[in-house]
Amino acid sequence: MFKSKFYTIVLIFTTLALTLGSQQASSVVGRGLAQISSGSDEPIYIGNGPTMPTQPDVIEADLARSPQPHFSEDQFFSIPGSVLVPRTSSAYKQYTSSGCVRITSGDLFLTTSLNLPSGSNIIGFRLYYRDNNPNASVQAWITAYEISGVSATDLALITSIDGLTSEWADVDHVVDTLHNSYAINVRLNDYNNLEVCGIRVTYTPPSIFGLGMPIIQK
């Protein structure tokens, strides 16, 4: 009688243990996105969870989206005429259309800064303009100003020609931002009939090896 009750109790506990174990296994394996804590902030996926991209694929995708420097190719610094500002407060600049401006009174000079990486070689620049006066011209040039304010050097000069809308000037100058600052200057030698529309400076950026030289020397 005692043995019969004992075996019955053992059988009941065994059945309960098997039932609970089966339910726990199905709750973990049966779900594709089941998460098990690993003691860290990152979840661990088991079963048929989402396929995660491998690290090399992520790196290659990022590189494909990022612009790469081309040290062997020409680069361009382009601005519309509308960003040029009067050199003095006496000038009145008027916007016409498509980025072009003209001077209607006061000082005839417009200017803006030219910001290029130190060590770049300026190859040349192009002036885009509208010249509606055969007796006057638009002039543009790049100036290197010594930081101390002692001197200034004009690197090249462009003068507009009637019947054309742009002119090019060659330049051969290595940018030195340690000693110089640079600006683009424009003079409209007439009121109302001359317009400056844009300027494009062509340059080659400094060599990647040249950029490392000062660090090596230090």
Q: What is the pLDDT of residues 165-199, one digit of tens each?
A: 999 999 999 999 999 999 999 999 999 899 999 99
Is CATH 3.30.110.70 the classification given to domain 75-206?
no
pLDDT above 60 for 36: no
> Nearest-CA neighbor of 205 among 17, 74, 25, 15?
74
pTM metric for this prediction: 0.62
- Residue written as token pair 């424009």: 186
Q: What 8-state DSSP symbol labels residue 99?
A: T
Domain ranges of the chain: 2-65, 75-206
> Measured between alpha carbons, how far is 108 from 122 in angstroms, rounded to an integer?
26
Band of pLDDT at residue 41, cut at 50, 70 and 90: very low
Q: Which range among 30-34, 156-160, 176-180, 182-186 shows the weakest confidence by mean pLDDT?
A: 30-34
CA dihedral of 141, 142, 147, 152, whole degrees rounded to 10: -40
**140 is written with which tokens?**
């543009």
> Measured between alpha carbons, how far is 50 from 43 in angstroms, rounded to an integer?
12
Band of pLDDT at residue 71, cut at 50, 70 and 90: very low
Cβ-in-10-Å burial (0-12, 13-18, 19+) of 181 comes to: middle
Partners of 126 in the β-ladder? 168, 200
Band of pLDDT at residue 11, cut at 50, 70 and 90: low
Side-chain half-sphere exposure of 206, counting CA atoms within 13 A:
16
- Give me the helices (H) in the chain, please: 2-29, 55-65, 208-217
- CA-based end-to-end distance of the chain: 97
